[in-house]
């Protein structure tokens, strides 16, 4: 589910769960293991990539709809750990957004150091509201950190997806590249970071990312309550059931 490729000191972690890299318990568990292992194995930077034309379609709604509350809580706890592992990674994590990147795919990108997206008719954003889901405080604040409070208020409440050009203009991604060059460009960017004076870079990176890591400690939401009030509400179940019929 995770293809690992080493490019010198840079480790690429490629999401590989065809056809759409939907995030389910097994994929998230594998990703967490790979994120933890990379620095321990000596990797000095991580590139997180996806399939050509599709980074990740987000949560696997079909599989998650079959989970009971305990299993759902375990999954969401693991997914939040993914976010924390990226946010607090001791090495930089560059997102190579190889194509469509809605919902959970966007969540992964939010916590990376830098985001390079494929140029073209690809969508990105947090569309949870559209399917009756709630993004949660930590994810909403991480989104706001990138695009600003006014734009976040509009995009989040509408569950809007935007294309790559709009994402660049909004600050949701940092640059665009031709689809075939996204991963290579991400590796080049990571290599540029590794060429900086290491002590000064590490200390400055820790400073500018401090607020991102703090989002988890500062959150006032209880995961069990969120699950009970949203993932198992009648509204959410109805919207998810309608989605699965399409």
* Structural domains of the chain, ranges and CATH numbers in brackets: 2-194 (3.90.226.10)
Please give the mean pLDDT across all residues of the chain. Answer: 93
The stretch 222-232 carries a mean pLDDT of 72
Averaged pLDDT, 160-178: 98
What pLDDT was estimated at residue 228? 64
pLDDT category, 224, cuts 50, 70, 90?
low
Give me the pLDDT at residue 231, please: 74
Span 94-126, pLDDT tens digits: 999 999 999 999 999 999 999 999 999 999 999
Say what the pLDDT of residue 154 is.
Answer: 97
Residues 68-74, mean pLDDT to the nearest whole number: 87
Mean pLDDT of 69-75: 88
- Structure tokens given for 234: 């009648």
**Looking at the DSSP assignment, which residues form a beta bridge with residue 162?**
124
Cis amide leading into 169 (omega within 30)? no
Q: Give the model's pLDDT for residue 229.
A: 72
Which pLDDT value is given to residue 122?
97
The residue-averaged pLDDT of 82-90 equals 97
User: What is the C-alpha to C-alpha distance for residues 83 and 87, in angstroms, rounded to an integer?
Assistant: 6
How far CA 104 is from CA of 44, 176, 207, 220, 228, in Å, comes to: 25, 20, 26, 21, 20
Q: Which residues of 119-131 are buried (b: 16+ CB within 10 A; e: fewer)?
A: beebbbbbbbbbb
């Amino acid at each position: 589910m995770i293809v690992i490729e080493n490019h010198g000191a840079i480790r690429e972690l490629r999401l590989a769960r065809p056809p759409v890299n939907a995030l389910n318990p097994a994929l998230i568990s594998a990703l967490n293991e790979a994120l933890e292992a990379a620095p321990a194995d000596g990797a000095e930077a991580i590139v997180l990539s996806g399939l050509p034309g599709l980074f990740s379609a987000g949560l696997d709604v079909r599989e998650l709809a079959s989970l009971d509350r305990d299993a759902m809580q375990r999954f969401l706890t693991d997914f939040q750990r993914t976010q924390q592992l990226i946010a607090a990674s001791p090495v930089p994590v560059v997102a190579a957004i190889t194509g469509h990147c809605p919902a959970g795919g966007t969540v992964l990108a939010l916590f990376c150091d830098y985001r390079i997206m494929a140029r073209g008719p690809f969508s990105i954003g947090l569309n949870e509201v559209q399917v009756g889901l709630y993004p949660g405080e930590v994810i909403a604040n991480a989104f706001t950190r990138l695009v600003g409070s006014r734009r976040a208020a509009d995009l989040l409440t509408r569950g809007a997806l935007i294309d790559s050009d709009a994402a660049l203009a909004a600050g949701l991604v940092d640059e665009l590249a031709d689809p075939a060059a996204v991963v290579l460009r991400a590796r080049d960017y990571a290599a540029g970071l590794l060429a900086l004076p290491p002590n000064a870079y590490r200390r400055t990176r820790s400073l500018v990312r401090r607020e991102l890591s703090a989002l988890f400690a500062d959150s006032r939401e209880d995961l069990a309550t969120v699950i009970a009030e949203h993932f198992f509400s009648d509204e959410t179940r109805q919207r998810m059931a309608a989605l699965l019929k399409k």
